[in-house]
Structures are given as structure tokens and as C-alpha cells.
Chains A and B, each alone.
Chain A
């Protein structure tokens, strides 16, 4: 069965304290992987697409990486405005999109 697991479920960081969020998957055929950010009361906002193992994408303090089994979202020197829920979604060869349950990140000043 195709499955996507995100960890940790919640993460509290001090401003400037770098960390990583994990998205692991067991799927039948991977076409790509998406990262989204979701703020309270808002819909998911697209961040990155990763296509193949070894690929990396960066945007401001965020860097996403992909291996054959998992993806990481690295947050370098986070700020309070980075607080949000981060969702990953695996795009299968069948065109189906499977979401994880998200990591809720809180960054304190």
C-alpha cells in the first residue's frame, strides 16, 4: 500500500535554531514529490517540486532534498514567520497524489 509519513508531528524551535523535517514514503512508482506550507485558516501554498533522487531545491531559509526513500526539508536559522504546517505530497506514476499529515512548526523569538 502506498504510504507517506511525516515526522516529527510537531516541532518547536528557537529563532535561529536550524532543523530538518522528514517525509518518508513507500510507494509503487514515484513521479515526483511536492512540499507545501499551510498557515492557519489558509490553503496549502506550493513550495517545491523534486523529481529524482539527489535533487535539491532552495528558497530563502528552506532547502528540500530527495532520496529514494525520503525527503527532507531543512530550515536554516528560522524566523517566527516560518511558523506553519509543512506538508509533503507524493505524486505517483498513476497520477495520484498522496499527502502526509504534516509537521506543525513553531518558531519562537
Chain B
């Protein structure tokens, strides 16, 4: 496999459920990102990991909990979500943070719906 793979592609959950989103990259990159994409809004950066260390948390509510066990895998653990959390969650990777103008490469996202 190549590129950035996200699972599941679609997820419907109730507000009291706990679920996890998974992202895997096969590009040999060292930085990984979580973004939220809502209709008619710009992509919102949530978390950044560089060489497995979290380098940015963009004021994300604690009901979203990221985990990066190694440079190839990134998880987003979800619990007690709200209806406004329904969105497309995108994972991206890049060579590393701070690397001059290396683009981020995105997965196809997980479409999350909160009932």
C-alpha cells in the first residue's frame, strides 16, 4: 500500500459511545496531523505530531484524544462527542515539521456522524 490510509471511512456513533479513528502512512514521513473539515469552513488543524511527539494541540476539547505510537500510525480516540463534532476528519503526513515547503499528503478521511 502507498499513501495515507484512514479507517473507518464512515462512522456513526451516539454521544455516549467511545470509538477510535486510525491513520497509517506508507510514505516514510515523520510528521502526522489531524484536521477537521466542516462544510463551508477551512480545514481546522487539531493536532500535530513530529517524530511521535505532540508538537501542537490547537485548543481541541478533551473529548478528542490523539495517540501516535510510531511515525507511521496515528489514532484519534473519541468519547462523549457532541452533534457539532459531526464532520470529515482528515489525517495528513509530511516529511517533518519545519521542513521548508514539503507538502502535506492527506488520507481520504473518516466521515463522522454523531446522533
Are B42 and A100 in contact, CB atoms less than 8 angstroms apart? Answer: yes
Interface size class of B (residues with CB under 8 A): 20 to 34
Number of A interface residues at 8 Å Cβ cutoff, please give it: 23
Are A43 and B109 in contact, CB atoms less than 8 angstroms apart? Answer: yes
Counting chain B CB atoms within 10 Å of each CB, the highest count among A31, A34, A44, A95 belongs to A44
Instruction: Return the CB mask of A37-55 against B: 1 if under 8 Å, else 0.
Output: 0000111111001010000
In angstroms, how far is the closest chain A Cβ from the Cβ of B105?
6
Instruction: Return the CB mask of A46-72 against B: 1 if under 8 Å, else 0.
Output: 100101000000000000000000000
Instruction: Return the CB mask of B70-94 against A: 1 if under 8 Å, else 0.
Output: 0000000000000000000010100
Are B106 and A45 in contact, CB atoms less than 8 angstroms apart? Answer: yes
Report the nearest B residue to A87, measured CB to CB: B43
Are A43 and B97 in contact, CB atoms less than 8 angstroms apart? Answer: no
Q: Within B38-93, which residues are at the interface with A (CB < 8 Å)? A: 40-43, 45, 90, 92
List 23 A-B pairs, Cβ < 8 Å. A4-B42, A31-B101, A34-B104, A41-B108, A41-B111, A42-B108, A42-B109, A43-B6, A43-B106, A43-B108, A43-B109, A44-B43, A44-B90, A44-B106, A49-B103, A89-B43, A95-B97, A96-B45, A97-B45, A99-B42, A100-B42, A101-B40, A101-B41
